[in-house]
Amino acid sequence: MTLALDDAETPGASGDRTVVGANLSLPLFRALSGTLAGHPYLKVVVDRTEHTWHLLDTRVHPFHVNYIATRILGLTLDELDADLDAFNTSVYMDPERRFLLGVLSLHTDERAEDPERPFLVLETTEADTMHGALLEEFYRYVRGRVDGRLPVLLKPANHGQEHELASVSEAVVPRILSHELFGHRTRTCLNPGEAEGRLRHFRTTKEYEAAAAELGWSDIVAMACLPDDIPRVAGFINTAPITPLSHTNVLASGWRIPNAIVRDLDTLVGQDGLDGAWVRYRVAEDTITLERLAGPPVLHKPAWHQQRIRVETPLLAEAPVLALHRLRRADRDSYGTKAANLGELHHVLDSRTADLTTFYARPRPPRADLLTHLATRLGEPWASPERLRAAAVERVADTVRAPEGVALPFRLHHLFLTSSPALQQGIGKLKMALELEAFDVLDPLCLHLQHLVRGTPMPDEVARAVTGAVPGLLADGRRLVVRSSSNAEDLPGFSAAGIYDSVTTVRGTEQLMDAVRQVWASLLSPRSVRLRHQVGISLDDTYMGVIIQEYLPADLGGVLVTCNPTRREDFRNVYLNCTPGSPERVVDGTVLPQQYLYNTVEGGGRTVDIGSAGVDLPPTTRAALAELALAGRLLQSHFSQEDPDDALDVEWLMTADGTFRLVQIRPYSR
């Protein structure tokens, strides 16, 4: 039911407090609101025909369109579902629409002169295409019906609305951008989850390094910037901002442990004496909590202690050095997953026969599929299924390029290892230590083996194969990049993000040989050996392929994942991070990248964080990134064939001419 003004504070028999026509006070807001991303919020519908508005009881009406259809227009939900896309177009995209839909959320600004003073933020849904005049009308209507003591700001929901508002004075429509509103949040979800463990709060890197060796699976580690080589523990807490696409959060996702930014941890620790205490740590999109436990809980070893990751038997027989474009995904058993995936990418872009529409063809109740949305994104609204598949491949091929380079097979790694008795003896000792679980000698054995690998001469056969792979580049003295490509990474349940080395500053034959040995040596680092052993990956089954590429200078580099990492049920958005230069800077924590969400169903994008740059990218660059996000989503259909909803993790470069190069493509751990 809906209530008139006089009944606004009295719930009806159904418990529905929805109000029509009333001015909005703070007590009424609190009575009707729910919680979204940790903030109270209220859905509003302005009816331009009836010259009134509806303040929805969030608990009863979670969806604008359902309320409008059933309570205002008299439709049934079945009638709405039968024509849902057309209905959405009429309320979100029609420039002459009857209804204006939005959300009012309540905030305070801890940096303001009065940090306790609340203010309201008005925004539409992310896919809304309101033009500037309509946004101004919407704001004026809401501002005129909200208690004058409450400031109201308009937050553009996407880049298109930012553009539309550029010609509207801020004196007429006061506004706040998303990164301005949320960039200083005290707590931010990075990876949802829950854990019970002992909180270990390290305020300096030196403190962490002194205690790192004793950290175990029941610890929850908190510090400003977690190191990439952190051991497997129960949970992560970052006390300074970091991206959800950092190496450590990819590990948290793959390990299925909670991770969040908790900027007020010092205060929490001081108030409740949490450092070193047993706590229950919960991370969700809306709420992040640390609760002190009375004592040590009954702890059971986590499931990964019994986890056994299957590694396909590496092929060590005769396999030549091959150009990346000659590889396919099935070649991962000889060249590693990174090289094989890049070869598969070449195939997709060159063959033009792949079906890149399966993500959109999947049922999304009440819709049978999202193919009409894809057709709109591709500018092919009346395309046949065949034409739509062709258009998808054409769009990806027009947007991205696959990197050129060569792949060294596992066979060369095997020949190198077996050429040295000292290496064979050292590997034998390491295998014995693992079998006996003699972890006290594990690190020294690994470090000694790495030293041997880096110092052992290349056998002539291996040296000729490596130098013969890129003779022109060596002769020219060009800068090369040498990347790892193991068979023990990018596996279901084992991502290995950041645990193997790449070398990006290689010139000449000597440096190339050193770089190849360094990549091989990273397979024997104490951390990589421990992590593989924990999930049952045998040292006998683990080999390293190597990718050699010409270095490409980049104006912009980054990472995208074809999901929203902090909201897993969101199938619309691609999360994209970038920073000037190399994509490694996005994931290693040295800078806070610019962060974006791009809707690959209805279209549109929005800025989440401007990062260390302090400014947003130009609109033309953001539009290009929207195309890159769509290409990533389309490639997901091919590279996630077992389940089209399995997300991809893509590293990319944008060169000076605006061309996108994909330098890595792999499953994203979820």
Please give the residue that has the higher pLDDT: either 87 or 110: 87
pLDDT at 670 over 60: no
> How far is it, in rounded angstroms, from Cα 450 to Cα 515?
13
Instruction: Indicate the SS3 state at residue 453.
Output: helix
pLDDT at 590 over 90: no
**How many other C-beta atoms are found inside a 10 Å radius of the C-beta of residue 273?**
10
The pLDDT of residue 182 is 79
pLDDT in tens, 145-171: 999 999 999 999 999 999 999 999 999
pLDDT at 596 over 70: yes
Q: Is 386 exposed, middle or buried (0-12, 13-18, 19+ CB in 10 A)?
A: exposed
User: Considering only CA atoms, which of 628, 112, 106 is closest in space to residue 398?
Assistant: 628
| Cβ contacts of 95 within 8 Å, gap of 6 or more | 129, 131, 134
pLDDT at 172 over 50: yes
Please state the pTM of the whole predicted model.
0.91
The CATH number corresponding to 307-354+395-551 among 3.40.190.10, 3.30.420.40, 3.90.1150.10, 3.30.1490.20 equals 3.30.1490.20
The pLDDT of residue 94 is 95
pLDDT in tens, 434-465: 999 898 899 999 999 999 999 999 999 999 99
In this prediction, residue 426 has a pLDDT band, given cuts at 50, 70 and 90, of very high
Which alpha helices (H) appear in 293-336, and where do they start and end?
Answer: 332-335
Domain boundaries, the chain: 5-176, 187-302, 307-354+395-551, 554-667
pLDDT at 514 over 90: yes
- Which residues make beta-bridge pairs with 557? 579, 653
The pLDDT of residue 305 is 60
Considering Cα of 53, then 58, then 64, then 69, what sign does the dihedral take? negative
User: Considering only CA atoms, which of 490, 363, 453, 466 is closest in space to residue 412?
Assistant: 466
CATH number of 187-302: 3.50.30.10
The pLDDT of residue 498 is 81
The pLDDT of residue 229 is 84
> How far is it, in rounded angstroms, from Cα 402 to Cα 127?
31
In this prediction, residue 368 has a pLDDT band, given cuts at 50, 70 and 90, of very high
User: Considering only CA atoms, which of 60, 343, 236, 217 is closest in space to residue 246?
Assistant: 236
DSSP 517-554: HHHHHHTT-HHHHHHHHHTT--GGG--EEEEEEE----
Q: What is the largest CA-CA distance in the chain?
A: 91
The pLDDT of residue 7 is 37
> How far is it, in rounded angstroms, from Cα 412 to Cα 402?
25
CA distances from 414 to 193, 417, 514 (A): 41, 5, 17
pLDDT at 140 over 90: yes
In this prediction, residue 540 has a pLDDT band, given cuts at 50, 70 and 90, of very high
> How far is it, in rounded angstroms, from Cα 147 to Cα 227?
48
> How far is it, in rounded angstroms, from Cα 239 to Cα 266?
9
> How far is it, in rounded angstroms, from Cα 601 to Cα 605?
11
Considering Cα of 348, then 354, then 357, then 362, what sign does the dihedral take? negative
Q: What percent of the chain has pLDDT over 90?
A: 73
Mean pLDDT along residues 595-606 = 95
**How distant is the alpha carbon of residue 576 from its chain centre?**
7
- Which residues make beta-bridge pairs with 36? 39
Please give the residue that has the higher pLDDT: either 174 or 249: 174
The pLDDT of residue 299 is 74
| Cβ contacts of 53 within 8 Å, gap of 6 or more | 20, 21, 44, 45, 46, 47, 141, 142, 145
Strand ranges, E, within 108-178: 119-123, 152-154
Mean pLDDT along residues 99-128 = 88
> How far is it, in rounded angstroms, from Cα 58 to Cα 44?
10
Instruction: Indicate the SS3 state at residue 64.
Output: helix
The pLDDT of residue 113 is 67
Mean pLDDT along residues 584-602 = 87
Considering Cα of 63, then 64, then 66, then 72, what sign does the dihedral take? positive
pLDDT at 511 over 50: yes
In this structure, the chain runs to a length of 670
pLDDT at 116 over 50: yes
Mean pLDDT along residues 199-212 = 93
pLDDT in tens, 212-229: 889 988 999 999 989 888
> How far is it, in rounded angstroms, from Cα 628 to Cα 574?
10
- C-alpha dihedral (236, 651, 545, 451), degrees to nearest 10: -50
The pLDDT of residue 4 is 36
Residue 496 tokens, joined: 């290995």
> How far is it, in rounded angstroms, from Cα 649 to Cα 560?
6
Q: How many helices (H) and strands (E) does the chain have?
A: 24, 26
pLDDT at 6 over 60: no
pLDDT at 573 over 50: yes
Going by the DSSP 8-state scheme, the letter that residue 166 receives in this structure is T
> Containing H/E element for 579?
strand 573-579
| φ/ψ of residue 100, rounded to 5 | -115, 120
In this prediction, residue 479 has a pLDDT band, given cuts at 50, 70 and 90, of very high
- Which residues make beta-bridge pairs with 322? 407
pLDDT at 419 over 60: yes
pLDDT in tens, 266-318: 998 888 889 899 999 999 888 899 999 988 888 777 665 666 888 888 999 88
pLDDT in tens, 518-532: 999 999 999 999 989
Q: Does 554-667 carry CATH code 3.30.470.20? A: yes
Q: What percent of the chain has pLDDT over 70?
A: 96
Mean pLDDT score of the chain: 91
